[in-house]
Amino acid sequence: MKIGNIEINSRSAALAPMAGVADRAFRELCVRYGATYVVSEMVSSKGLTMCDRKSKKLLYLSDEERPAAAQIFGSDPKIMAESAVSCLAYKPDVIDINMGCPAPKIAGNGGGSALMKNPQLAEEIMRAVKEAVDIPVTVKFRLGWDADSINCIEFAQRAQRAGMDAITLHGRTRQQMYAPPVDRKMIAEVKRNIDIPLIANGDIVDGITAAQMIEETGCDYLMVGRGALGRPWVFSQITAYLEHEVVLPEPPVSERMRVMVEHIKKICEYKGERIGIREARKHAAWYIKGIHGAAAYRQQVGMLESIEQLEELAFNIVRENM
């Protein structure tokens, strides 16, 4: 599959741009497990144009995680275009526009999924960004704002008209957030009504659900978000099934704990141990999900203060689950 002039191996999946999760450490880890495309955490267009240091840190893309997109959000066409140009300093392969985030602090300010209530403004933003940069531009959105305003087909057609090189569609409305199951029939309807590539997102957690999404929607590519939390190996599972119809099992507890420690050490390397350990707590909770005794371990995770404590916890979990 191609996004503009960027060729992507579609026999795996992309890592979704999850705020506070899909940072450099996690993106690099997922690429090692087979993710064939990643997207940065979303960056505020206003923050970027005001030279906000945090926004700039979020845009750093290493050589180990490419092809990669920089994702921006906002509701002003001019500022969005300016921020897209600012992103070019970090050499992204693609600029992605967030029009799907359901978080109240984003949608409440007119960004993210709130733009689905104003398709004309959304199209103006997409066109402004496309005209401002000389690399591919994509957009990520949902089925609509709520069940009474499903407008994803119109939205996708506007995206195509505005020059988007691909779209990513999360198969739920903003009102639905992350439940119930995604509507694959609507994703298929959107695919039938556009000519640009469609990346399907939602409820992809292994090779079988990946294959089902492709079969039922005809999508060109897949994007995995929550299915990768504490499970970066999900990309290996997807590749094995799509290429060979092989179902790879979940790794043993010892391997899960090894990856967890490696992941969190990398976060600390990139952000410093004080920040890294604080962020590590949520990742560790995801890695231990489903392990025997997870409830008790989660209490210990919430009190982590150092790498040494993390390593001790991982050792104890492996020993108690042998």
Strands 2-3 and 6-7: antiparallel
- 8 and 140, same domain (yes or no): yes
- 273 and 292, same domain (yes or no): yes
CATH code for the domain of 26: 3.20.20.70
Instruction: Give per-residue pLDDT as tens, 144-165.
Output: 999 999 999 999 999 999 999 9
Instruction: Give per-residue pLDDT as tens, 80-116.
Output: 999 999 999 999 999 999 999 999 999 999 999 999 9
- 267 and 178, same domain (yes or no): no
Is residue 101 part of the annotated active site? The answer reads: yes
By CB atoms closer than 10 A (0-12, 13-18, 19+), residue 244 is exposed
- 131 and 155, same domain (yes or no): yes
- 142 and 285, same domain (yes or no): no
- 31 and 100, same domain (yes or no): yes
pLDDT at 279: 92
Choose the final residue of a domain: 183, 217, 244: 244
**Amino acid at the residue 236:** S
Instruction: Determine the structural domain holding residue 286 and report its residue range.
Output: 253-320
- 95 and 155, same domain (yes or no): yes
**Amino acid at the residue 178:** Y
- 267 and 214, same domain (yes or no): no
pLDDT at 55: 84
pLDDT at 237: 98
Q: Average of pLDDT values for 57-86?
A: 96
Band the pLDDT of 51: cuts 50, 70, 90.
Answer: confident
pLDDT at 150: 98
CATH code for the domain of 288: 1.10.1200.80
User: How many domains would you assign to the chain?
Assistant: 2
Q: In whole angstroms, what is the distance from residue 155 CA to residue 168 CA?
A: 11
Indicate the average pLDDT of the chain: 96
State the pTM of this model. Answer: 0.96
Of 101, 152, 219, 268, the catalytic one is: 101
